[in-house]
């Protein structure tokens, strides 16, 4: 679930980029979940045409994904196909990270690749011909710029910074007889199926891995043949897609045209890896950071999707070969590498024949988040609040108010006020029936309370 604060931030970003009407449609989808076009029109009280146009813009910029499902018709009617729309919260929040994405491309691939990539971020998704036209207009070098654009685009695809766009409206097959039987067995099965409908839609929309980063040999056709139905894209102007709308729902009428977009997943992977290495370097030591960086570099080439729990298992020999290539790793031998792997929390294999290691990335990231939260609490609420918050983060369980006061050497009266303030600002979780406090997970939010300041007495 997306927190109320997250929804406010996402709606603010959409409003800043695309205006208030698009923000209203996005807010409706984020708060109410997956909806049909008619439902969005009903809830937003906007005209059908306005909602269509807003959904076109949001889909084009990967902020909304459409998918078709089959529903039973009314009395005397057969089943009919309905298009549903869901907001992609993570993709909306990625707009805050665009400057970091551009910086990564500039540092790794150079200025020319940065210009093409920036155009994709600005326009959402473009075809090859549109990418070349935009690059020609920006560089003003004529035909010679086409070759430069082709090389830069290939570099972006090879680095997996750019990918093919997902299908605009995949169709989800109706549940099979076995799934229907499982649904009737209990509410638990129903809940699981309801949670996975959006995941199924995203999986159905995603291009096959073999096609996701495949650049077909159609550059000449893309340069010479311009689609008359598509408006030319000029640098600094937004792209219009009047041809995307059908009589009933939103869909791309040019099925043969391949569109490309920025691959957010690859950038998040790199930023995540960079953060993990930096945290280990400070919290453990430099050797452990070098070994972790080597493992993550090896994993990057073998990952098919973003891994948030453990890295891809790597052999000790592969780790060693990668470590000695890195700055500061040339003098490390196998024993030092094994010692660093133990410091990273890796368990030694039972058989040395198959000596592979996998790092618990989830634990590293969780530790980094807690440290960041502790720093925020220290700046906002002072050292006494920081000591209490750190106590709860280390305990990772319910702790009595009296024990918090005694352990952190804070007067109970002051401790109650501080704990109440932290709880009110969503940093802590409180169980009133036990008069205990617990560190609130960074990914969860408590329900807002209408109580006044007198509720502080509940901590006693």
Q: Give residue-wise pLDDT tens across range 281-323.
A: 999 899 999 999 999 988 877 776 666 678 888 888 999 999 9
User: Looking at residues 348-371, what average pLDDT do you find?
Assistant: 81
Pairing of strands 171-172, 64-71: parallel
Is residue 266 classed as helix, strand or coil in its secondary structure? helix
Q: How far is CA 4 from the centre of its chain?
A: 18
Taking CA atoms, 83 is separated from 46, 71, 183, 202, 220, in Å, by: 18, 10, 23, 14, 36
133-177 pLDDT, tens digit per residue, is 888 887 766 666 788 888 899 999 999 999 999 998 999 887 665
42 versus 232: the higher-pLDDT residue is 42
Does residue 52 contact residue 16 with C-beta atoms inside 8 Å?
no
* Whether 361 contacts 306, CB under 8 Å: no
Dihedral angle over CA of 51, 56, 57, 62, nearest 10: 120
Chain segment 13-58, per-residue pLDDT in tens: 999 999 999 999 999 999 999 999 999 999 999 999 999 999 999 9
C-alpha count within 13 angstroms, C-beta hemisphere, residue 429 = 15
| Dihedral angle, C-alpha 72, 74, 78, 82, nearest 10 ° | -50
Indicate the pTM of the whole model: 0.76
Q: Provide the edge-to-edge strand list for the sheet that holds 126-127.
A: 126-127, 259-262, 162-164
């Amino acid at each position: 679930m997306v927190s109320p604060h997250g929804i406010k931030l996402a709606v603010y970003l959409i409003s800043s980029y695309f205006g208030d009407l698009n923000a209203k449609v996005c807010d409706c989808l984020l708060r109410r979940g997956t909806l049909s076009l008619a439902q969005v029109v009903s809830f937003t009280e906007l005209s059908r045409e306005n909602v269509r146009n807003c959904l076109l813009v949001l889909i084009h910029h990967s902020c909304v994904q459409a998918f078709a499902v089959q529903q039973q018709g009314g009395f005397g009617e057969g089943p009919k196909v309905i298009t549903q729309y869901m907001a992609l919260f993570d993709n909306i929040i990625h707009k805050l990270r665009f400057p970091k994405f551009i910086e990564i491309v500039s540092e790794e691939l150079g200025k020319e690749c940065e210009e093409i990539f920036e155009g994709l971020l600005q326009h959402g998704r473009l075809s090859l011909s549109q990418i070349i036209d935009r690059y020609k207009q920006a560089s003003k070098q004529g035909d010679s710029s086409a070759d430069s654009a082709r090389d830069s685009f290939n570099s972006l695809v090879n680095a997996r910074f750019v990918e093919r766009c997902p299908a605009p409206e995949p169709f989800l097959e109706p549940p099979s007889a076995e799934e229907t039987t499982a649904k009737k067995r209990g509410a638990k099965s129903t809940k699981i199926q309801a949670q996975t409908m959006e995941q199924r839609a995203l999986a159905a929309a995603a291009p096959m891995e073999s096609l996701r980063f495949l650049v077909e040999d159609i550059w000449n056709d893309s340069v010479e043949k311009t689609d008359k139905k598509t408006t030319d894209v000029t640098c600094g102007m937004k792209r219009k897609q009047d041809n995307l709308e059908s009589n009933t729902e939103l869909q791309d009428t040019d099925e043969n045209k391949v569109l490309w977009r920025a691959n957010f997943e690859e950038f998040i992977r790199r930023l995540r890896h960079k953060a993990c290495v930096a945290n280990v370097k400070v919290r453990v030591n430099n050797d452990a950071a070098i070994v972790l960086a080597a493992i993550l570099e090896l994993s990057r080439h073998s990952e098919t999707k973003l891994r948030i729990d453990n890295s891809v298992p790597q052999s000790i020999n592969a780790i060693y070969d990668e470590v000695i290539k890195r700055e500061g790793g040339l003098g490390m031998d196998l024993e030092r590498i094994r010692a660093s792997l133990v410091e990273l929390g890796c368990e030694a294999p039972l058989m040395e024949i198959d000596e592979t290691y996998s790092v618990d990335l989830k634990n590293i990231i969780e530790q980094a988040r807690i440290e960041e939260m502790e720093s925020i609490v220290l700046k906002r609420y002072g050292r006494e609040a920081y000591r209490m918050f750190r106590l709860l983060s280390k305990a990772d369980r319910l702790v009595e108010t009296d024990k918090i006061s005694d352990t952190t050497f804070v007067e109970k009266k002051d401790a109650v006020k501080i704990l109440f303030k932290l709880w009110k600002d969503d940093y802590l979780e409180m169980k009133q029936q036990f008069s205990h406090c617990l560190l609130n997970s960074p990914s969860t939010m408590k329900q807002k309370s209408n109580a006044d300041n007198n509720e502080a007495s509940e901590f006693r």
